[in-house]
């Protein structure tokens, strides 16, 4: 009964807001109204077309955009399978789609299939081994998934149940951390209030079997996206600032998530400015709010974030994350509606436009939700307004990610020794190769599992060039890894000279110069 009343009240409040918003925007053209109706009622925006994408969007010099997939209403979060197919969650449809990788090279997924449906508003997804974990609005579930065939191979089973999903911000984001544990972010029920369920507006951590469930960070209003910086393992989460304090306050946030920290909501906004509606934090004596690591413009609504592997990109993207700004819905002029790049520099975090053009003077063509990097190195961006996925690649060498080259070419030794071997520090390269082999878990197909394809004696079959070619265009179902040229060489050195880096001692003892 109580939730019914709250539900009715929120509808009334929302309805009351519509005229306000229309007046406030001052731009009551068809496009703005449609965008507002999208927020209020879920009405879809106009579908994206390749020609519009090409004519209206802008990227930094040297990057290229294509419309990768369309006709995907309510597309929200993405995750690549180990075989390079894309999973796409659609909380409003209760399903997860599988977009088969573009092996035929026509610039579109080879097929779009429903992987699983009938779920309660699924958003976050990630893998531990062959298990796909899914965050519904009220629970975390898991199901066995065979990446080679792109099919589920078991029954879906709950792992953690009993999350609340009343009110606003009911979606849950789930990622597996570098420590192999499950991280779950859930938003607040309201714009600004004290929550009854203390797990709302936090980040939590669980073991893969669902045990644990510690709250590791509090005071996060709605952290929909988070990711770990690859250079130091720090965890960063986006957070959406509250509404109804004007057009330009408070900033949306990027927070460096540290265990036990309190990030301010609902008592503080931005750089710990007390909230005018809430009064003093009753727990002020026990906790200091942690200010954001970076502020986005107010109402920009940062959602998905991903740190990129910028191998092959121009200088300036070494320590970079891409963030999707979904765009404002209650600001007098629409703002956000783009993908920005964040750069960790000596002067702190700098924000630059990456993909823009969704909003042209209030004419809204799309709303970016999530950013993911494919195994081909390209950047994929989901849009729940146009129902589209865009693909951004660097340079005109649209990487060949068809797997067929490998098998024909691979079974031969080099006729020529590659140049880069001259004077190369083979033991050091082999050690780095061994680490890459570890990091990418090559073992799960080549040493363990049902039918491991052993790589022993590889040097009798393949030369350096053949191994590198194979890593560039692997035989199915071996994934395409986003490896730089150097990393491909390091892996090749390791695989072809097992003695030079193969032993665990050699991997761990960095200062040993002879293996």
Select from 403, 437, 463, 469 the one that contacts ligand HEC (CB under 6 A): 437
Rule CB under 6 A: say whether 307 interacts with ligand HEC.
no
Out of 426, 467, 468, 500, name the contact with ligand HEC by CB under 6 A: 467
Which of 43, 413 has the CB closer to ligand HEC? 413
Block residue for tokens 């929302």: 14
Q: Is 442 in the site for ligand HEC (CB under 6 A)?
A: yes
User: What span, in angstroms and rounded, lies between the C-alpha atoms of 114 and 97?
Assistant: 4
Question: Residue 116 or 455: which CB sits closer to ligand HEC?
Answer: 455
**Distance (Å) of CA 110 to CA 104, 393, 406:** 7, 19, 20
Which among 309, 270, 294 is positioned nearest to 350, based on CA atoms? 294
Burial of 410 (0-12, 13-18, 19+ CB in 10 A): middle
Binding of ligand HEC by 129 (CB under 6 A): no
| Of residues 50-109, those binding ligand HEC (CB under 6 A) | 82
Dihedral (CA of 495, 500, 502, 504) sign: negative
Minimum Å gap between C-beta 145 and ligand HEC is: 12
Using CB under 6 A as the criterion, what x/- string covers residues 374-413 for binding ligand HEC? Answer: ------------------------------------x---
Among 132, 135, 237, 462, binds ligand HEC (CB under 6 A): 462
State in angstroms the smallest separation of the CB of 410 from ligand HEC. 5
Q: Provide the 10 A C-beta neighbour count for residue 93.
A: 18
Stretch that binds ligand HEC, among 158-166, 351-359, 415-423, 453-461 (CB under 6 A): 453-461
Q: Which stretch binds ligand HEC (CB under 6 A): 182-190, 360-368, 419-427, 434-442?
A: 434-442
Query: Is position 491 an interface residue for ligand HEC (rule: CB under 6 A)?
Result: yes
Angstrom CA distances, 504 to 434, 440, 501, 507, 514, stand at: 9, 16, 8, 5, 14
Q: Considering the rule CB under 6 A, would residue 507 count as an interface residue with ligand HEC?
A: no
Contact 477, 130 (CB under 8 A): no
Instruction: Please tell me whether residue 478 binds ligand HEC under the rule CB under 6 A.
Output: yes
Tokens 């949306």 sit at which residue? 252
305 contacts ligand HEC (rule: CB under 6 A): no
| Token pair 């761990």 in the structure block, residue | 508
Tokens of residue 512, six digits = 């040993």
Q: Which is nearer to ligand HEC, 336 or 474 (CB)?
A: 474
The length of the chain is 515
Report the nearest approach of ligand HEC to the CB of residue 430 (Å).
13
- Rounded CA-CA distance 405/152 in Å is 28
Whether 229 and 321 have beta carbons less than 8 Å apart is answered as yes
Nearer to ligand HEC among residue 132 and residue 224 (C-beta): 132
Q: How far is CA 291 from CA 192, 347, 367, in A?
A: 18, 17, 27
Q: Cβ of residue 366: shortest distance to ligand HEC, in angstroms?
A: 34
C-beta of 82 vs 109, nearer to ligand HEC: 82
Residue among 445, 468, 473, 493 that touches ligand HEC (CB under 6 A): 445
Applying CB under 6 A, which part among 14-22, 164-172, 326-334, 472-480 lies near ligand HEC?
A: 472-480
Q: First vs last Cα of the chain: how many Å apart?
A: 70
Cα of 271 vs its chain's centroid, Å: 26
Least distance (Å) between residue 445 CB and ligand HEC: 3
Cβ atoms 223, 185 nearer than 8 A? yes
Which of 151, 352, 412, 453 forms a contact with ligand HEC (CB under 6 A)? Answer: 453
Give contact residues for ligand HEC (rule: CB under 6 A). 82, 410, 437, 440, 442, 444-446, 453, 455, 458, 461-462, 467, 470, 475, 477-479, 481, 491, 495
């Amino acid at each position: 009964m109580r939730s019914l009343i709250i539900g009715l009240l929120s509808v009334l409040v929302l309805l009351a807001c519509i005229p306000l918003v229309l007046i406030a925007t001052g731009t009551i053209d068809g496009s703005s109204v449609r965008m507002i109706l999208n927020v209020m009622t879920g009405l879809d925006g106009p579908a994206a077309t390749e020609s519009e994408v090409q004519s209206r969007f802008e990227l930094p010099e040297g990057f290229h955009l294509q419309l990768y997939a369309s006709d995907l209403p309510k597309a929200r979060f993405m995750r690549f399978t180990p075989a390079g197919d894309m999973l796409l969650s659609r909380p409003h449809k209760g399903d997860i789609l599988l977009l088969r990788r573009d092996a035929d090279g026509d610039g579109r997924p080879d097929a779009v299939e429903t992987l699983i449906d009938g779920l309660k508003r699924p958003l976050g997804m990630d893998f531990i081994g062959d298990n796909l974990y899914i965050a519904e609005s009220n629970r975390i579930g898991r199901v066995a998934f065979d990446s080679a065939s792109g099919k589920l191979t078991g029954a879906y089973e709950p792992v953690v149940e009993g999350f609340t999903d009343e009110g606003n911000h009911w979606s849950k984001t789930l990622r597996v951390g570098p420590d192999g544990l499950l991280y779950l972010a859930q938003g607040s029920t309201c714009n600004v209030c004290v929550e009854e369920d203390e797990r709302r507006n936090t980040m939590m951590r669980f073991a893969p079997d669902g045990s644990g469930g510690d709250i590791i960070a509090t005071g996060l209003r709605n952290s929909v996206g988070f990711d770990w910086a690859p250079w130091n393992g720090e965890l960063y989460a986006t957070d959406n600032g509250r509404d109804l304090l004007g057009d330009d306050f408070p900033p949306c946030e990027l927070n460096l998530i540290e265990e036990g920290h309190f990030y301010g909501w609902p008592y503080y906004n931005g750089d710990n400015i007390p909230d005018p509606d809430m009064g003093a934090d009753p727990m002020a004596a026990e906790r200091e709010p942690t200010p954001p690591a970076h502020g986005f413009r107010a109402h920009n609504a940062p959602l998905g974030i991903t740190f990129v592997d910028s191998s092959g990109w121009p200088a300036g993207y070494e320590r970079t994350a891409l963030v999707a700004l979904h765009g404002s819905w209650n600001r007098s002029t629409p703002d956000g509606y783009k993908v920005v790049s964040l750069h960790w520099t000596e002067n702190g975090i700098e924000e630059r436009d990456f993909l823009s053009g969704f909003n042209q003077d209030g004419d809204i063509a799309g709303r970016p939700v999530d950013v993911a990097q494919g195994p081909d190195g390209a950047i994929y961006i989901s849009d729940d307004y146009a129902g589209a996925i865009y693909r951004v690649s660097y340079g005109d060498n649209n990487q060949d990610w068809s797997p067929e080259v490998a098998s024909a070419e691979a079974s031969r030794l080099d006729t020529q020794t590659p140049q880069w071997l001259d004077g190369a520090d083979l033991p050091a390269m082999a050690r780095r190769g061994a680490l890459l082999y570890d990091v990418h878990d090559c073992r799960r197909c080549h040493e363990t599992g049902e039918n491991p394809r052993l790589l022993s004696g590889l040097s009798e079959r393949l030369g350096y060039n053949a191994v590198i070619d194979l890593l560039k265009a692997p035989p199915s179902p071996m994934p395409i890894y986003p490896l730089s040229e150097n990393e491909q060489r390091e892996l090749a050195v390791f695989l072809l000279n097992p003695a030079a880096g193969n032993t665990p001692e050699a991997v761990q003892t960095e200062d040993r110069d002879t293996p």
